[in-house]
Each structure stands twice: as structure tokens, then as C-alpha cells.
Amino acid sequence: MIQFFHVYKTYPGDVQALVDLTLEIDKGEFVFLTGPSGAGKSTLLRMVFCAERPTRGQLLVGGRNVARLAANAVPYLRRNIGVVFQDFKLLQRRTVEENVALALEVLGAPRREVRRRTYAVLKQVGLAHKIHQYPPRLSGGEQQRVAVARALVNEPQILLADEPTGNLDHERSSEIMNLLEAASARGTTIVVATHDLRLLERGQRVIRLDAGRLAA
């Protein structure tokens, strides 16, 4: 599903974020990406959803070469990728429903379909009763569940999560991980970048990065 072939990413000032990275993540696999700060975890994720391009090497996402993808093709690739961030990135002046529905609206889904699927995914993450609330009135754990719902609502092939539990206590973190594992069980490829060593004990594959390289 995701294949890196000798990928390099160098930022201005000769800052090397990824160095000769080669790795493969299979369809439906659940992978933790770990390593110290600056190891290149976020850069790797940003490359998968095309916020960054490789400086060198090839990156295939769902069989498409991201390094050569035309700018106007990027939105269509992203529709198959859900992304969850540590700081949730919810629109504060939109309701929970509107935040989640956005991912379906960009697809041009009919309004009735949007409402039905939005409600279904919010029910799945246990927030159907807060559908008309605004994010500032929700707890951190609830906001992250809304972010997960937004990432999952259009049933993406890949879900990327960058420190999704970084702002949550252990109990809330477990809730989020349970949601991600449930999505994985339905066939979604999950990649979670994390510092949280407790999460790594859940038994999934762990990829360690250090200074932009795969660590042993």
C-alpha cells in the first residue's frame, strides 16, 4: 500500500529529514512509527499525504508515484487517506457534524448521504449525542474522536495519525487506539507516529526512525 524506495528529504539549509529510506507497509497493516523528536516521523507521514515531496527516490501510495504526481491529482489521492493530528485540527466555529461532513462534502456526496454517513461514524466513535456541539465545548479526548471520525467517514484506504494521543491521558489514548484498531480490522492501513512507548506494547509492527534513517 505504501512503498518508500531510497527516499531522501532535504530541507533548505541542508537539513536532512529522511536519508535513503526504503520500507514497505502492506494493505490493512497497522504500523507504529517511532523515534526521537526530529527522527523524520512527521516528514514521512506528510510525504504520504503529499504535503511534502521526496527530494530523491520514489514513493508509491496505493500504486501511484507520489514523487511524480501532478498537483491537480493530489486532492484525489488524499480522498483515500485520512489524517489525524495531535492538535486535532478541527474548525472551532463549525459543529461536530460540520467538521466530519466536510470530508464527504468535498467528494460531492448528496446531502442526505452526507448526513447519514456522518451520523453513522459519529455513533461509531461514541459522539452521536454531541453532533451539534462545537469543538471548544468538547474534552480533548472527544475532540480527537471527532478528528478520527472525520478521517474515517469516507472509508479511506489509509489512515495516518501523527501523535494522536499526545494530548490525551492513558484512558483516552486507549479509546483512540481502539478506534484505530477497529478501522484496521475493517481493512484500513494504519500508520501511527508516536512517542508513547505504552502504545508500542499493543503488539503491532513497529518501525523505528533515527536521524531520518531506519533504526535497527
12 binds other proteins (CB under 8 A): no
Mark out the alpha helices in the chain (DSSP H runs). Answer: 41-48, 74-78, 96-105, 111-124, 140-152, 170-185
37 binds other proteins (CB under 8 A): no
Answer positive or negative: Cα dihedral of 180, 183, 185, 189: negative
C-beta of 106: minimal distance to other proteins in Å?
4
- Give the Cβ contact number of residue 147 at 10 Å: 26
- List the interface residues with other proteins, window 78-137 (CB under 8 A): 78-79, 83, 85, 89, 91, 93, 102-103, 105-108, 110-111
Cβ neighbourhood burial of 176 (10 Å; 0-12, 13-18, 19+): buried
Q: Residue 3 or residue 154: which is nearer to other proteins going by CB?
A: 154
C-beta of 215: minimal distance to other proteins in Å?
26
How far apart (Å, rounded) are the C-alpha atoms in residues 180 and 207? 17
Are 194 and 200 in contact, with CB atoms under 8 Å apart? yes
72 binds other proteins (CB under 8 A): yes
Q: Residue 11 or residue 170: which is nearer to other proteins going by CB?
A: 11
In this chain, which of 36, 75, 126, 187 binds other proteins, going by CB under 8 A? 75
In this chain, which of 41, 117, 130, 150 binds other proteins, going by CB under 8 A? 150
Q: Residue 162 or residue 196: which is nearer to other proteins going by CB?
A: 162
Are 2 and 188 in contact, with CB atoms under 8 Å apart? no
> Which residues on neighbouring strands pair with residue 174, listed in sequence order?
none
C-beta of 64: minimal distance to other proteins in Å?
14
215 binds other proteins (CB under 8 A): no
- Give the Cβ contact number of residue 185 at 10 Å: 11
The site for other proteins (CB under 8 A) is made up of: 49, 51, 72, 75-79, 83, 85, 89, 91, 93, 102-103, 105-108, 110-111, 150, 154
